[in-house]
Amino acid sequence: MGKLSCAAGGTCATRALLKGALKDQVAAFTFAGSYYAAMKKDCELATFGGAATKAACITAGYAKLTAMGTAMAAADFYSVKTAAARTTWSTAQDVINVAAAIAAKAPAAGTVGFSCAAAAAVAPATVGVRPACAAANCCMGYKALPADTANSANGELCQLKTLLKGKVVTTAASAKATSCYVAFTAAVTAEQDGACIEGAVRTASAALSVLAAAYMMA
């Protein structure tokens, strides 16, 4: 975890941050130890906790621990709060951190993998609004099997217009907090055939226009 020391004749930064009784400082070091253990376990996985390397995972973990220590100090976590209040605060912080971890890994609006499924229709409209995809992408509808007549679950995603296949999420990404350390588990995906939904709509509209023109000329 690194060496903790106090400069000669100075004030120990760790003790100054905690500003609590010895038992509270022991509790703080115990928390840090539990956090480190959870981080070490996650970073030693083959996925490196979602980071590029083990070292990157550990660096990110320490940065988050520093931020957590700052938040604890601001909340007078050890110097003022009771044990029950600490539990309440930590539980609420875990919820926030888990949500943030999942959101950080989610595709940005309009990018490949972003859901473009239409929202529920709002009267008097009969069709819900579909989120827009980036210029190079289209809203692609995926089917698990070629014979399927309906798109698969979670199977309407932004994808490059030039592709006819893409990855569909079969198991959503998840995250779990242990001593305020958040371990992220990536989504499980499967490759499926797809076709641009907007493209199909435009093709149908064009066909109707041709048919109408032919009818008018008859």
Where do the domains of the chain lie?
Answer: 13-81, 137-217
Contact 188, 168 (CB under 8 A): no
Reported pTM: 0.67
Q: How confident is the model at residue 217, as a pLDDT? A: 54
Cα–Cα nearest to 159, from 187, 131, 140, 135:
140
pLDDT tens digit sequence for 145-166: 888 888 888 889 999 999 998 9
pLDDT tens digit sequence for 80-139: 888 899 889 999 999 999 999 999 889 999 999 999 998 888 888 788 888 999 999 999
**Gap between the Cα atoms of 68 and 65, Å rounded:** 5
Cα dihedral 18, 21, 23, 26 sign: positive
Q: What is the mean pLDDT of residues 173-201?
A: 85
Q: How confident is the model at residue 44, as a pLDDT? A: 94
Given a cut of 70, whether residue 34 has pLDDT beyond it is yes
Given a cut of 60, whether residue 45 has pLDDT beyond it is yes
